[in-house]
């Protein structure tokens, strides 16, 4: 992280300036609210949280710690292949070792932008015969959505601008920021 002198709260990465957007405390409050909802919705069940690496790991860790029903967690990654079809990227689920048959699955994502990633993931996981699939995303950019999607748990609905921090990266960096920052609008 590169903190700028005199503008203590801004950060720069790769020459781009980002301004504070959502504080760690605000994020934690919202995660607690989502966890309380999940406790209610899954009372008497034992859901399997599926954290989509890499960006969702801080959200998944805090959310998982905040629920108090019996639950399990596992991690998957989506591998992208370029140019294998006219539609561009084809994504394949990597690292799924659990048998999803009859399981109540909660996909944990960092952010839904166009919705392409989560749509493909839900389709792939449905084929594995789970009892149910719900989606928890920390962030949603509704104006960017290109697919009809209604995630079940949404932390924050945000404008379609690039953000970093709390798991979200710029070329692999900034995931370790405690807060979320938004790219500064160049004037
Ligand atoms: P989608 O398939 O277009 O919904 O894209 C979702 C993925 O794009 C996320 O899992 C992120 O990895 C990435 N992404 C989308 N918006 C942002 C952003 O503002 N900052 C960092 N990564 C983003
Ligand atoms: Mg992601």
Q: Which residues line ligand 1 (CB under 6 A)?
A: 55, 110-117, 162-164, 168
3-class DSSP state of 100: coil
Give catalytic residue positions.
113
pLDDT classification of 80: cutoffs 50, 70, 90 = confident
Task: Decide which of 152 and 185 is more confident.
Answer: 152
How far is ligand 2, taken at its centre, from the CA of residue 5, in Å? 31
Radius of gyration of the chain (CA): 17
| Res 186: pLDDT | 75
Dmax (CA) for the chain in angstroms is 56
What percentage of the chain exceeds 70 in pLDDT? Answer: 91
Tens-place pLDDT, residues 34-43? 999 999 999 9
DSSP code string of 78-96:
EEEEEEEETTEEEEEEE--
Q: Is residue 8 over pLDDT 90?
A: no
């Amino acid at each position: 992280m590169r903190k700028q002198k005199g503008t203590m709260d801004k950060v720069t990465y790769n020459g781009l300036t980002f301004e504070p957007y959502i504080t760690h405390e605000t994020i934690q409050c919202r995660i607690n609210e989502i966890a309380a909802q999940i406790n209610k919705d899954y009372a008497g069940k034992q859901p399997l949280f599926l954290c989509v690496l890499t960006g969702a790991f801080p959200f998944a860790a805090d959310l998982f710690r905040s629920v108090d029903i019996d639950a399990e967690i596992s991690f998957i990654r989506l591998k992208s292949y370029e140019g294998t079809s006219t539609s561009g990227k084809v994504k394949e689920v990597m690292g799924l070792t659990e048998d999803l048959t009859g399981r109540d699955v909660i996909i944990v994502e960092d952010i839904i932008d166009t919705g392409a990633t989560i749509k493909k993931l839900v389709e792939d996981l449905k084929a594995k015969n789970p009892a149910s699939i719900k989606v928890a995303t920390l962030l949603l950019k509704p104006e960017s959505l290109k697919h009809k999607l209604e995630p079940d748990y949404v932390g924050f609905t945000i404008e379609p601008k690039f953000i970093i921090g709390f798991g979200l990266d710029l070329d692999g960096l900034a995931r370790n920021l405690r807060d979320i920052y938004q790219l500064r609008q160049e004037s």
